[in-house]
Amino acid sequence: MEKEENLNQDDNTKQSTEDNGNTEKLLKEDQTNINQDEMSAEATPEEKIKELEDKLARTFAEMENQRRRFEKEKDDAFDYGGFTFAKEALNLIDNLERSKLILKSDEALKETEALKKTLEHLEIINKDLISIFTKNNIKPIDCLNKKLDPNLHQAMMEIEDDEKEPGTIIQEVQKGFMIKERLLRPSLVGVSKKKDQKDEENKENKENLDK
């Protein structure tokens, strides 16, 4: 019984010690806050004015940044709001080109007046579409005989050609377009490359044998 009482007394003593420690900690924190408040209260009017001026300057700077971001977003929405629609509309031009190729390869229509008339009408439609796009700042990329630019062109194949400098675009697979200063879609192209040295040697050997 006495043992249990001693244990209880020890627990009470320990709890009392912890409570005293927590109280001292809170008192120290309160004293620190009081000291900080006193230091703040001791600031001179000039220091307080300078602090307010700094806060006001930061506020105006943040407001100006937000205004610029808003203006840029508004301009982008106005200039490129129809970006997705324009990109989808390019399928019309692609389909016209495919239709022309299919008609030209049809043996039954070759050299016929009907084919000639049809191709003329398709070409008129194609020019009208390009004109409409151009009026809305959507312009085709001029790429033939120019150096490959990864920002505007996508190389689909290499074609041996010793007359052109390597990397020159000599075939346009699919026409690319710009919308104002932004790429709408890249031109799909074929670029030139030098003939392999081995092929040249085989050709020379064959010519020598023929002689």
CATH number of residue 170's parent domain: 2.30.22.10
Mean local confidence (pLDDT), 121-139: 89
Same structural domain for residues 118 and 165? no
Domain end among 107, 136, 165:
136
Q: pLDDT tier at 105 (50, 70, 90 boundaries)? A: confident
Give 148-189 pLDDT, tens digit per residue.
999 999 999 998 888 888 889 989 988 899 988 889 999 999
Same structural domain for residues 43 and 60? yes
Same structural domain for residues 131 and 145? no
Do the beta carbons of residue 205 and residue 184 sit within 8 Å? no
Residue 186 backbone dihedrals phi, psi, to 5 degrees:
-75, 155
Inside any domain, residue 8: no
Residue 3 neighbours by CB under 8 Å, 6+ apart: none
| 153-160, strands of its sheet edge to edge | 153-160, 187-193, 169-174
Token readout for 134 is 């151009």
Whole-model pTM over 0.85:
no
Q: Which has the higher per-residue pLDDT, 79 or 155?
A: 155
Domain end among 75, 95, 127:
75
pLDDT of residue 153: 93
| Helix ranges, 42-135 (H) | 45-80, 83-104, 113-135
Same structural domain for residues 148 and 207? yes
Same structural domain for residues 207 and 152? yes
Asked if residue 190 has pLDDT above 60, the reply is yes
pLDDT of residue 186: 93
Count of CA atoms in the C-beta half-sphere (13 A) of 115: 14
Same structural domain for residues 94 and 156? no
Q: pLDDT tier at 79 (50, 70, 90 boundaries)? A: low
Residue 97 neighbours by CB under 8 Å, 6+ apart: 126
- Rounded to whole angstroms, the Cα distance separating 204 from 8 reads 109
187: part of which helix (H) or strand (E)? Answer: strand 187-193
Give residue 29's domain range: 13-75
Same structural domain for residues 40 and 27? yes
